[in-house]
Amino acid sequence: MEIYQIPVTYEALNESLEVLTAVGYENWYYDIPVENERIENGYKTRTLPQENAFIHVVIQEKSDFDHVKKLSETLNVSPTHIQMNEFNQDHMWQEPFPDVQLDGGWVISFDTEQNVERDKIIILDSQGAFGTGLHETTQDCVNTILSDDFTKQTVLDLGCGSGILSVAALLKEAEYVEAVDIQPVEREVKRHAQLNHVENVKVLQRDAVNEKNLWDGEFDWVFINIGAEEAVTLLNNHPQLLQVKNFLISGVVEWNVEYIHSFFKDAGYSIDQQMQTNEWVTVTYRK
């Protein structure tokens, strides 16, 4: 597979894509120039229209055809500005992502074909939901869960994404998990439960933050890895959840941590454990 990267101005992007499609290049994607701006609750992405965008044209079958010349003429871009990268697709598909090493000898593995009986492993077959184990917040949540004992505990996993936190709790003997996301993640969560030989997870698609009173306080744990402001809005909309004894909160940036601490302190909780990786803070609160 070959991918040709072509710089175009931000204003010319849409027209360039139309022209490419018209001349038969239909397999493309593009990057627009963005910058992450720090805001109180985390980051906001801003486009930078004054900078170049990049179109990437994908050619599946390698041939002798001079695509640089054709693309250069079609988009009126100098051939010297067009960069070609070649990928060996067979090789790409064969290589699973490397394992993610966690605390206490645990690993997250993306090798779904393995038939070795191993302790301390979470197997993922990521299908696009957040929660591959690569992000700091997920890793710190998983490490927190795996260092605890969830025997006979019931868990409400809000913003469950791939279901990785639910699976971790079930591997630590949780009795039942209700996993909730605004996205349609049921298939992915169930797949991860099956790969890890755990059951007793119910998956719901709900706007947990803005809908009101969806749950009572009949859980031992609530996990929320969505963001500090979202967590506070969610709990103001579900005050009965503040009867739950244990909370795992993540997705909080270090400059907003006092906000979430004071919310839980006012609700009668104390900090049990706090971790930070880069700017991302993960906290467990108990009462």
Residues 170 and 8: their CA atoms lie apart, in Å, by 49
164 touching ligand SAM, by CB under 6 A: yes
Distances (CA, A) of 255 to 144, 188, 228, 251, 266: 21, 33, 11, 12, 19
Return the number of the residue (20 or 275) whose C-beta is nearest ligand SAM: 275
| Minimum CB distance to ligand SAM, residue 232 (Å) | 13
The identity of residue 133, as a single letter, is G
Q: Does 42 bind ligand SAM (CB under 6 A)?
A: no
**DSSP H or E stretch at residue 43:** strand 42-47
Shortest distance, position 130 Cβ to ligand SAM, whole Å? 4
Q: If binding is defined by CB under 6 A, does position 181 make contact with ligand SAM?
A: yes
Contact indicator for 205, 183 with CB cutoff of 8 Å: yes
Cα Rg of the chain (Å, integer): 23
Identity of the amino acid at 185: V
Question: Which residue from 40, 165, 58, 162 is spatially nearest to 102, judged by alpha carbons?
Answer: 165
Please name which of 5, 6, 4, 12 lies closest in space to residue 49, comparing C-alpha atoms. Answer: 12
Tokens describing residue 56: 């990437």
Closest listed residue to residue 110, CA positions, set 90, 127, 88 = 127
Quick check: 184 binds ligand SAM (CB under 6 A)? Answer: no
Based on the shown chain and the rule CB under 6 A, indicate whether residue 222 belongs to the binding site for ligand SAM.
Answer: no
Count of residues near ligand SAM by CB under 6 A: 22
Query: Between residues 53 and 209, which has the closer beta carbon with respect to ligand SAM?
Result: 209
Stretch that binds ligand SAM, among 74-82, 87-95, 136-144, 167-175 (CB under 6 A): 136-144
Does residue 183 interact with ligand SAM by CB under 6 A?
A: yes
Least separation in angstroms between CB 136 and ligand SAM: 10
Sequence-separated (6 or more) residues with CB below 8 Å from residue 264: 247, 249, 271, 283, 285
Closer residue to ligand SAM, CB minimum distance, 6 or 177:
177
For the segment 225-284, give every residue that binds ligand SAM (CB under 6 A): 225-226, 251
- Using CB under 6 A as the binding rule, whether residue 200 contacts ligand SAM is answered as no
Candidates 24-32, 47-55, 160-168, 256-264; binding stretch for ligand SAM (CB under 6 A) = 160-168
Out of 6, 155, 160, 257, the residue judged to bind ligand SAM by CB under 6 A: 160
159 forms part of the interface with ligand SAM (CB under 6 A): yes
| Secondary structure (3-state) at 160 | coil
The contact mask relative to ligand SAM for 113-132 (x = CB under 6 A, - = no) is: ----------------xxx-
Q: Which is nearer to ligand SAM, 14 or 277 (CB)?
A: 277
> Residue 263's Cα: distance from chain center in Å?
25
Q: Would you call 255 exposed, middle or buried from its count of C-beta atoms within 10 A (0-12, 13-18, 19+)? A: middle
Q: Is 208 in the site for ligand SAM (CB under 6 A)?
A: yes
Which residues of the chain form contacts with ligand SAM (CB under 6 A)? 129-131, 137-138, 141, 159-161, 164-165, 180-183, 207-210, 225-226, 251
